[in-house]
Amino acid sequence: MEFFRINKTIDFMRLRRPMVVLSVVLVLASVVLLATRGLNFGLDFTGGTLIEVGYENPVDLAGVRETLRQGEFGDAVAQHFGTSRDVLVRLAPRADVSSADLSTRVLRVLQDGAAGQKVEVRRVEFVGPQVGDQLVEQGGLAMLYALIGIFIYVAFRFEWRFSAGAILATVHDVVLTLGLFSLLQVEFDLTVLAAVLAVIGYSVNDTVVVFDRIRENFRKLRKGTAMDVVNSSLTQTLSRTIMTSGTTLIVVAALFLLGGTLIHAFAIALIFGIVIGTYSSIYVASFAALALGVSRQDLVLPKKEGAEAGGQP
């Protein structure tokens, strides 16, 4: 059930040229940022040391992080592991310190700041840079395979012009999201990679809904240009888009505000991806299909042989 209905068709495509210029500028800026500044890869990709420690009593993570910062481990990531008495500390690799010496120093720092509690090391694991390189490669392949699958799916369901538009919109969203992380230098780890893949899925879902309505209107509306059909379809799906994007943003905003520091990067990627994915469905995917020359003849179902004779052979 729609909560509101828009009776007047909105001329979205009137702004197509300035929006396309804006998208091109943002994509080029993102590529430049990625080439010059790169991404701030987390320990999942760079490798490092994992140290699990146990406390006698429940411990506050804020205090643990402050203790590590004062002990010259400001780059350490601390999180609860299992219970509130177990803490997992992740440290970036240090060339001049072995993992054994590093764990000893961390334990000493935590013990000094434990206010009389006993702290013990449960395990120490070292993740080498080779594993990180492998994760970078596999993450890139995951996004590539996702794009290939999207292209095949949309091409079979709709038409190759729509498929090209969906791929352009998806690549647009991924590049801009990566560019944002390069600009802000927010840590990019496996959770952020998962968020980027989720953005791909969200963007394609929104694009497919728009394309479905465009195809339906090309078959129903016998008057008007292709641009008129696209504007009408975008207007008809606008209420659905606002409701879907709005409710999703509320949930993701709650994750950002209440989920803690470890989930901030994940929430940032989703918030930006939802906004940019909605924009790209209109001004990248739909415009690309128009620019490639999609027309009513491409989408109208062919008449079955013998249909004019009442179905008689």
Is the pLDDT at 153 greater than 60, yes or no?
A: yes
Is the pLDDT at 197 greater than 90, yes or no?
A: no
Sign of the CA dihedral with 252 first, then 254, 259, and 265 last: positive
Per-residue model confidence (pLDDT) at position 2? 47
Per-residue model confidence (pLDDT) at position 225? 82
Is the pLDDT at 6 greater than 70, yes or no?
A: no
CATH 3.40.50.80 describes domain 48-127: no
More confident residue, 288 or 294: 288
Highest averaged pLDDT of the listed ranges 48-57, 265-274, 286-295 = 265-274
Q: Looking at residue 308, what DSSP letter applies?
A: G
CATH 1.20.1640.10 describes domain 12-40+131-299: yes
**Mean of per-residue pLDDT scores for the chain:** 80
pLDDT tens digit string along 105-123?
Answer: 888 888 877 777 788 878 8
CA 58 to CA 55: how far, in whole Å?
Answer: 7
pLDDT tens digit string along 50-91?
Answer: 888 888 888 888 888 888 888 877 777 787 776 778 888 888
CA 202 to CA 299: how far, in whole Å?
Answer: 25
CA 275 to CA 239: how far, in whole Å?
Answer: 15
Sign of the CA dihedral with 179 first, then 180, 185, and 188 last: negative
Per-residue model confidence (pLDDT) at position 5? 53
Domain borders along the chain are 12-40+131-299, 48-127
Highest averaged pLDDT of the listed ranges 17-31, 32-46, 125-139, 214-228 = 17-31
Per-residue model confidence (pLDDT) at position 253? 92
Per-residue model confidence (pLDDT) at position 55? 86
Average pLDDT score over residue span 242-251:
89
**pTM score, two decimals?**
0.76
When mean pLDDT is compared across 28-37, 158-167, 175-184, the lowest value belongs to: 158-167
pLDDT tens digit string along 9-22?
Answer: 888 888 889 999 99
170 within 8 A of 203, measured Cβ to Cβ? yes
What is the maximum alpha-carbon separation in the chain?
93
Sign of the CA dihedral with 189 first, then 191, 195, and 200 last: positive
Cβ neighbours, 10 Å, residue 100: 11
Per-residue model confidence (pLDDT) at position 307? 46
Confidence class for position 309, pLDDT limits 50, 70, 90: very low
Confidence class for position 191, pLDDT limits 50, 70, 90: confident
